Structure 1
């Protein structure tokens, strides 16, 4: 288990560090801990990051200032990477790192095994959105922290605390993001970069497609959205005002996003939240000033919101007007000429020569103009006519002016963190003094002790008492220690020279210092990743290939029945229709062994297990389980066939074994993050009946709490007042290269954007079969009855040997309206 620490319920402020300067800035501004990445296995590969060689020096720096260091290994781990991941885990443990932040369940199991002294924190990439989901992870291994999904509200976070009291007995302390950029998709569930460019967000290579412009196509017609083009780009999170409520909700760690940001950002944001947390803990009024808010906006902001923490308000979070850093509004242009402007409706934000600004004309953001103010004359802002680069003919009254940089503020913050001498946080000493006349005196703190060379004598006048001991042993000066308690266990009336007592104190400090500079010894663990792998039993005669079909409409279910499909999955927006689908399937299917399975929602938030009860009442043959909460809910249902879906992110055999055994699953779905080589490695490392592979689908790219339908097709703010345009319109988003992508809502009003081009793995079918894989899936999206029949029959012919991959590809290209790709399976 992790190294013992003094009990501490004080909330922690956790700051990002993409490099050494950011680490120093975080410490100077009052962070309790920092999180950082190494060159591999971290979700911010574009950050400078630290090297293995940096670790000892970095951890020494942090620990000398009473700050903890957490390493992010928050990506999926492929089968061929398990050995190198284990080596990194062992180096991290040897360097004295305090905690690991991990996404991959298999890696978490490996870390708990080979680095038991390092705390284990479940990353937000693990998609923990409900108490039941956390309960399932706790059943796999103990953890010291769980980072919750950013889509949860304060009220929903409170439900975790309530659940721990009532039924689930949750033990893991909670961490939440309180500031920084928001992903539009649920962390761990975004396949956009992987689908469009083979750059997986689950591997630290996010291409930020959510920050790009999109056109809204409604019922086949392009909707004029004016300046609202950034339909998937959320504003940033700033929850400083909500800190008291989060403390009361039981949150133990407050996390700032920003490993790609500057040290000035880290310093400014950290010191604001240090102030907010300290005030909340001492029941002081909100200490955040307008100056603080200005700093937060200026160091980086796309507009600041409370995110999902204050509840759902879709237009507030994602207004669609821009996707880049903005800063605060200065005002609206009242008049302008060649080289100058005046403003009206000003906001009171300070303006000075040298400040950077951008002109918002509601145009394409790639074409908008920005410059630095040259000088200010009266109420006129003057720009250099030559060197500003501005085309003044494009500047018009009515345009909005934003302030994008403040050199004076940046310089002040830089001086602050560069010149700060953060006080070393004192380590409390709980000392015990023991001995008797004729013996050495022993001074002990915990497991560390020193003994005097001088022997205790018998006191004739003033024996050595607790008051004298306390006075001498508390003289710790500028050492990183302070006396917290003293236990006097001296026997008899003892005499001891004060000079010798002071030397004994110095000896103990020296001994304690040596243990700080050297990481505590890491236990030698003989177990390796190989000991955690499943036993591989490959059938000499693999089962014949079988095809399952996922249907999203009753029309598609009928097509699957007419095609003689023996395994049907239903994934309906309205699960109330599941019972009808089950009845239809059992009445119409003429295949005796045919089974119908019902899919759970991809996300379940606190209080949403009612959806699972609705699925149960439909009495299916099996379940397609898509989240950790459903694994927990159905773990004891041995009467149902249970298949874990792609969204569980199974990318290596250790993760597969954990889920198969602990959720009592019959099968798993191969993660969509794997290319064909990685798929083959995975299949070679597990029994060949464990997995099913999706051979044809429209890749579900963004899966998000943000509702595009509500935001841009209604005047409402939530499902309560939006009028449900998702039920009345067919909506696509057109990206910058002209590709249309289908948008659909689910039962929880969460939106999924599906890749408009179908992905097929037909060319790899023979290689997949050679591993013994027998279960293949086709996922339908919006196909009508004829389209569904064509797609199903094309793959039935492939599996039966009546056609080959090239024939299938030609057929699929012919009837897929928006094209076909081999997508993520292709090795780059």
Structure 2
């Protein structure tokens, strides 16, 4: 607040048994958040200061949690929060039905990258959307010109390498979903790059998926010109100094841009922003695509400011060629690039002295330390092992003790630093009680009236100048006087003490009124929504169907030989789709084409192209699904996992938009899929029974960054068309990487995820449509996987036998992955979420 934020966003935790099934709040900051009991006081304090509160409700909600979610939404609405930020489409709609007066903001985890995506969020109740961080200024401008929804963009802080809402690495490798606020940050781990099966030496780059931090201060004038409604700073797990410095910088930049003045940030202020927390700052995608800059790959953590380069090691310290001045107390780290130190340890510590030619620098000499000098840096005993410091290593200042003093006025302010304007009107008629009315910037007013009437003046009468002087003394309050009007009749007199008392009473009354929670009627809506569900019964006579997704022409050849119930084509190049679609049709097999998971404003013609193929479409983006609403019946549509259907409300709403079937999100385990089938109808779901979990889906192109010197598809030479690459993790597992038509990369889990242990229960629940997805499998592996599933479905082998046959096919073994059901998960007896 003191740094100038117009709004803050945060999560709220509820008591045990009132929140999620795992005991956390419904927000993507699983380790933090305010307690619900403190929310009324928090809201009162924020609103008294004129600051809005946006509460994050930005996780996928499971069927078993819908009742608790409804209760929390009611509490939030009644507490006076100014908006909720929501990822789950069904929950967004439920919130609007519960309280139409509570604004809903579509989270960046809705993966909104186009005007169609924004309109899709509006369909579910959003009045504002937080755009994907991968959009350029031109993309944002195109979206702003095509929708009247409010737009919010991130401008500073940590970047996820994966599109928000489309990352399943934590789910795949830790059983803890990023879509549930439990990100394990697998993107910040080191990987080896395998190119056509051979390890590629990348020099000092090992952190191949760890992006730098977003810094768009210089883009603020353009964002203001475009008409973006809100700029957002990512403060996940940062301290008060980070929040204060970044907020103050962007507050000033917005005010200057709004007033038409140039940005006035100084190099020293920019260095403070880098010092307080930085993995390397840059505008990244907002300034346009340059795959050489988003991921440097040398280190995954805070670096601060580079202050020099190691020149040598002495008996007691380290010789450094300085590029910035340093001083005792600075926290420094010597960056060896961890590829040279497998254990990942870095040397560093707090600097206690500087030496020149073996002599310590005194205070006068320390004050004259400048870039370009070569000095010996010494640390506390045992802090730095010189044997692990090498010539050429960069030296970073990760901590500057003087920074705290510069931020202290904001983080330790006794009186409000940021104040809001008020207009004052003083009414003083001789013989009547004088009154003061204060009106804030939103038109909210409060009036204070003295008990005694205004007496005639004996000497100096009240005038506007005196009133302005006394009534403008608003120090220590949340306000400053903007305008004063008066209604004076007669020559009246009022002591200064009475004027001060009148002012204090009016300020207190206005402050209290601003802090009152708005009255919002709320109505429980879940029961009504659930009663509208059609009754569903399994069709036990329906034969199971296998749907195969292929990604190469060779896999297609094998699939055509095996004749599944349908074939889905998921190709890098669009040009190969038309003849392949015709081949599948000629074989008498149903054919679908897979759409990209992300569609930007310049890629909307893909919709027309996909429709022109005369095939079914596997719909992977909300924006595409929205665009297809005007093409009802033009193609059979199947919704994919990336639509993130995690509960009956979302699944049913998506199915109502013309989908014949829907693949549940990978956040659901096998039992939750069974339960969802009972709620929406088993024939409306198409779970993946065999496939590689798409752990990262990213705008950052690994092919371009590490196999070329180009910046984007126009000059990279398209190595994705001639090479196969994989990322090998620290456990030795290799995870294939594939590019899509938009040059976005998907990193797939190297081990296939199989549903074999759960197929008996799925069939028993009435599920009949199962998809088998292939990534880098050979044609023979595809045949073997299909044959194994057919043997199971025909009763030739058991589920255990199916698992064994699949294990024999896989090069790296199998995983249950996201389908794993914890032993204590229990059952949803009689679906109590429907009951009261």
TM over 0.5: yes
Distance change (3 Å), C-alpha of 1:505 and 1:577: same
Paired with 1:587 and 1:84, the residues of 2 have a C-alpha distance of 51
Distance change (3 Å), C-alpha of 1:681 and 1:331: same
Paired with 2:427 and 2:593, the residues of 1 have a C-alpha distance of 68
Is the partner of 2:713 in helix, strand or coil?
Answer: coil
Distance change (3 Å), C-alpha of 1:729 and 1:57: same
How much has 1:360 moved relative to structure 2?
2.0
The answer on whether the counterparts of 2:427 and 2:434 sit within 8 Å (CA) in structure 1 is no
Corresponding residue for residue 625 of structure 2: 631
How much has 1:647 moved relative to structure 2?
0.2
Corresponding residue for residue 356 of structure 1: 331
Corresponding residue for residue 524 of structure 1: 522
The answer on whether the counterparts of 1:440 and 1:456 sit within 8 Å (CA) in structure 2 is yes
Paired with 2:113 and 2:531, the residues of 1 have a C-alpha distance of 28
Corresponding residue for residue 182 of structure 2: 205
How much has 1:180 moved relative to structure 2?
0.8
Range 353-362 or range 527-536, more displaced: 527-536
Distance change (3 Å), C-alpha of 1:332 and 1:657: same
Range 402-411 or range 437-446, more displaced: 437-446
The answer on whether the counterparts of 1:110 and 1:532 sit within 8 Å (CA) in structure 2 is no
Aligned residue among 341, 344, 351 for 1:373: 351
The answer on whether the counterparts of 1:86 and 1:529 sit within 8 Å (CA) in structure 2 is no
Corresponding residue for residue 3 of structure 1: none
Paired with 1:428 and 1:177, the residues of 2 have a C-alpha distance of 30
Corresponding residue for residue 571 of structure 1: 570
Distance change (3 Å), C-alpha of 1:506 and 1:271: closer
How much has 1:559 moved relative to structure 2?
2.4
- CA-to-partner distance for each residue in 1:547-574, whole Å, 9 max, x for gaps? 1111112222232222221222111111
1:325 counterpart = 2:302: yes
Distance change (3 Å), C-alpha of 1:407 and 1:46: farther
Corresponding residue for residue 20 of structure 1: none
- CA-to-partner distance for each residue in 1:252-310, whole Å, 9 max, x for gaps? 11111122111111112112222222221222222111111111111111111112111
Is the partner of 1:121 in helix, strand or coil?
Answer: strand
Paired with 1:824 and 1:498, the residues of 2 have a C-alpha distance of 78
The answer on whether the counterparts of 2:538 and 2:681 sit within 8 Å (CA) in structure 1 is no
Distance change (3 Å), C-alpha of 1:152 and 1:424: closer
Is the partner of 1:692 in helix, strand or coil?
Answer: coil
How much has 1:342 moved relative to structure 2?
2.6
Corresponding residue for residue 162 of structure 1: 145
Aligned residue among 202, 218, 221 for 1:225: 202
Paired with 1:717 and 1:648, the residues of 2 have a C-alpha distance of 30
Corresponding residue for residue 792 of structure 2: 798
How much has 1:377 moved relative to structure 2?
2.3
1:273 counterpart = 2:250: yes
Aligned residue among 640, 645, 651 for 2:640: 645
Distance change (3 Å), C-alpha of 1:401 and 1:515: same
1:149 counterpart = 2:136: no
Corresponding residue for residue 178 of structure 1: 155
Scaled by the length of structure 2, the TM-score of the pair is 0.86
Equivalenced residues, count = 777
How much has 1:422 moved relative to structure 2?
2.1
Paired with 2:573 and 2:522, the residues of 1 have a C-alpha distance of 53
- CA-to-partner distance for each residue in 1:433-491, whole Å, 9 max, x for gaps? 999x999999897687879899999x9xxxxx998999799778456567778999x9x
Paired with 2:246 and 2:435, the residues of 1 have a C-alpha distance of 49
Paired with 1:212 and 1:238, the residues of 2 have a C-alpha distance of 23
- CA-to-partner distance for each residue in 1:183-232, whole Å, 9 max, x for gaps? 10000000011011111111111111111110011111111222211111
Please give the residue correspondences for 1:341-740 in structure 2 after superposition, counting only pairs within 5 Å.
Answer: 341-344=318-321, 346-347=322-323, 349-362=324-337, 363-364=340-341, 366-378=344-356, 379-384=374-379, 386-388=381-383, 390-414=384-408, 416-419=410-413, 421-423=415-417, 425-426=419-420, 428=422, 477=474, 480=478, 511-528=509-526, 530-531=528-529, 534-539=532-537, 541-542=539-540, 543-589=542-588, 594-620=589-615, 622-636=616-630, 637-661=632-656, 663-740=657-734
Aligned residue among 97, 100, 104 for 1:113: 97
Aligned residue among 204, 219, 237 for 1:242: 219
The answer on whether the counterparts of 1:65 and 1:423 sit within 8 Å (CA) in structure 2 is no
1:28 counterpart = 2:28: no
The answer on whether the counterparts of 1:359 and 1:402 sit within 8 Å (CA) in structure 2 is yes
How much has 1:409 moved relative to structure 2?
1.6
Paired with 2:426 and 2:73, the residues of 1 have a C-alpha distance of 36
The answer on whether the counterparts of 1:433 and 1:486 sit within 8 Å (CA) in structure 2 is no
Distance change (3 Å), C-alpha of 1:236 and 1:136: same
1:95 counterpart = 2:93: no
Is the partner of 1:189 in helix, strand or coil?
Answer: coil
Unaligned runs of 5+ in 2: 14-23, 357-373, 457-461, 823-836
Aligned residue among 13, 19, 36 for 1:52: 36
- CA-to-partner distance for each residue in 1:349-403, whole Å, 9 max, x for gaps? 2301121111123323713211221201235333246332x22133333222111
Aligned residue among 811, 815, 819 for 2:809: 815
The answer on whether the counterparts of 1:110 and 1:529 sit within 8 Å (CA) in structure 2 is no
Distance change (3 Å), C-alpha of 1:434 and 1:698: farther
Is the partner of 1:373 in helix, strand or coil?
Answer: strand
The answer on whether the counterparts of 1:353 and 1:373 sit within 8 Å (CA) in structure 2 is yes
Paired with 1:357 and 1:506, the residues of 2 have a C-alpha distance of 50
How much has 1:727 moved relative to structure 2?
1.0
Paired with 1:419 and 1:693, the residues of 2 have a C-alpha distance of 55
The answer on whether the counterparts of 2:90 and 2:124 sit within 8 Å (CA) in structure 1 is no
Distance change (3 Å), C-alpha of 1:354 and 1:731: same
Paired with 1:690 and 1:516, the residues of 2 have a C-alpha distance of 49
Distance change (3 Å), C-alpha of 1:498 and 1:713: same
The answer on whether the counterparts of 1:547 and 1:777 sit within 8 Å (CA) in structure 2 is yes
The answer on whether the counterparts of 2:424 and 2:436 sit within 8 Å (CA) in structure 1 is no
Is the partner of 1:732 in helix, strand or coil?
Answer: strand
Scaled by the length of structure 1, the TM-score of the pair is 0.87
Is the partner of 1:71 in helix, strand or coil?
Answer: strand
Unaligned runs of 5+ in 1: 1-26, 164-169, 460-464
- CA-to-partner distance for each residue in 1:558-598, whole Å, 9 max, x for gaps? 32222221222111111221111111012223xxxx31111
Corresponding residue for residue 761 of structure 2: 767
Distance change (3 Å), C-alpha of 1:66 and 1:438: closer
Corresponding residue for residue 260 of structure 2: 283
Distance change (3 Å), C-alpha of 1:508 and 1:400: closer
Paired with 1:721 and 1:447, the residues of 2 have a C-alpha distance of 57
Corresponding residue for residue 38 of structure 1: 12
Distance change (3 Å), C-alpha of 1:302 and 1:484: closer
Paired with 1:444 and 1:286, the residues of 2 have a C-alpha distance of 34
Aligned residue among 743, 749, 754 for 2:748: 754
Paired with 1:519 and 1:178, the residues of 2 have a C-alpha distance of 30
The answer on whether the counterparts of 1:575 and 1:615 sit within 8 Å (CA) in structure 2 is no
Paired with 2:465 and 2:336, the residues of 1 have a C-alpha distance of 75
The answer on whether the counterparts of 1:94 and 1:522 sit within 8 Å (CA) in structure 2 is yes
